[in-house]
């Protein structure tokens, strides 16, 4: 997930969802489940109804988000198909279900087939947020003629929020992120620089992984990717740890949980504190918040990778 904040009243943490992989099983009309976290510039979650416009580009537009060709625009406005409801910062929207305006592509399927890369620019109440997150490769399964299954699913045919993929990984079906199932394989805390390097060096054969991954596939989660997990746990009434259960509607402390070996403690995120370059954000699984600390402080490591 990419954090995009500006000096306007709101800021947005965007999640690129596994809903992309669910689209090709739906058929017309083309719909993509897209979720995110909306915060103001103070970092507090927003509540209310917001106009949102999603514009797809073939380029990231650089640090100012300018340039690139418009592939498609989907508007969710109070004066049109309906604005987007935000509760506790969390929102969910079906892209393709708003007012769709073709650009160089006439629809989501054509966009996936014809574009080497796709980036989405989000405007909230007229505020254009930057940078543009890139749509991950799972979207390009739109080009398949056959329905596809989610990346992994439960053996009983049910689909939970967090799914044990049987290869040392857990897929978050709401965000598409793949988490290391057992972060307890890292036996000590590390500085921020060391934690990033450890995550990036992870691959198949380590930490119980049999997923075919290699060094460079894994990374630390961003501040907002972690915050989505924590916010869901808070919404579920969880505490110590602030982690949702397998289904996603309860808590790891009381219900079945696919994660093992984790510490009820602080984990590094990949996000540097913009106000203090010597600091970075940590995810407090024990306290249910994100806080900034000096990069030299040792915290735990919990790698993630993008879904395929």
pLDDT tens, N- to C-terminus, the chain (308 residues): 333 333 334 455 544 443 343 343 334 446 777 778 888 887 788 899 999 999 999 998 888 888 899 999 999 999 988 999 998 888 888 888 899 999 998 888 778 777 778 888 999 999 998 888 877 644 334 444 443 344 565 444 456 899 998 899 999 988 889 999 999 999 999 999 999 999 999 999 999 999 999 999 999 999 999 999 999 999 999 999 999 999 999 999 999 999 999 999 999 999 999 999 999 999 999 999 999 999 999 999 999 999 86
What pLDDT is stored for residue 80 in this prediction? 87
Per DSSP, what are the bridge partners of residue 237? none
Hey, what CATH topology would domain 162-306 get?
A: Mannose-Binding Protein A; Chain A (3.10.100)
The 10s digit of each residue's pLDDT in 139-165 is 334 444 443 344 565 444 456 899 998
Token pair in block for residue 300: 């735990």
What does CATH list as the number for 2-143? 2.60.40
What pLDDT is stored for residue 152 in this prediction? 62
What pLDDT is stored for residue 263 in this prediction? 96
What pLDDT is stored for residue 182 in this prediction? 96
Kindly list the domain boundaries of the chain, sorted by start residue.
Answer: 2-143, 162-306
Which strand (E) or helix (H) includes residue 20? helix 19-22
The answer to whether the 2-143 and 162-306 domains have the same CATH topology is: no
**What is the C-alpha separation between 115 and 96, in angstroms, rounded?**
17
The 10s digit of each residue's pLDDT in 53-88 is 999 999 988 888 888 999 999 999 999 889 999 988
């Amino acid at each position: 997930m990419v954090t995009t904040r500006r000096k306007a009243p709101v800021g947005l943490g965007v999640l690129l969802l596994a809903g992309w992989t669910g689209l090709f099983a739906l058929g017309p009309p083309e719909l993509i489940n897209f979720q995110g976290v909306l915060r103001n510039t103070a970092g507090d979650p927003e509540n209310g109804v917001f106009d949102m416009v999603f514009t797809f580009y073939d380029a990231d537009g650089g640090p100012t988000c300018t340039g690139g060709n418009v592939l498609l625009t989907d508007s969710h406005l109070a004066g049109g198909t309906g604005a987007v409801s935000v509760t506790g910062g969390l929102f969910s929207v079906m892209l393709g279900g708003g007012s769709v305006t073709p650009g160089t592509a006439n629809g989501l399927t054509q966009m996936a087939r014809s574009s080497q890369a796709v980036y989405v620019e989000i405007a909230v109440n007229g505020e254009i947020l930057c940078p543009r997150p890139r749509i991950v490769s799972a979207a390009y399964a739109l080009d398949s003629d056959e329905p596809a299954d989610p990346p992994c699913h439960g053996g009983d045919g049910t689909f939970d929020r967090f799914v044990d993929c049987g290869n040392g990984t857990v897929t978050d079906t709401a965000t598409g992120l793949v988490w290391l199932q057992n972060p307890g394989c890292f036996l000590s805390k590390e500085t921020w620089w060391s934690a990033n390097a450890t995550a990036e060096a992870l691959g198949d054969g380590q930490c119980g992984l049999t997923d075919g991954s290699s060094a460079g596939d894994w990374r630390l989660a961003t501040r907002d990717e972690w915050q989505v997990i924590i916010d869901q746990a808070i919404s579920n009434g969880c505490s110590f740890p602030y982690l949702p259960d397998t289904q996603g509607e309860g808590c790891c402390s009381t219900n079945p949980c696919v994660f093992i070996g984790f510490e009820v403690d602080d984990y590094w995120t990949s996000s540097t504190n913009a106000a203090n370059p010597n600091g970075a954000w940590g995810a407090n699984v024990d306290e249910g918040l994100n806080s900034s600390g000096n990069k030299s402080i040792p915290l735990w490591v919990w790698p993630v990778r993008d879904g395929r």
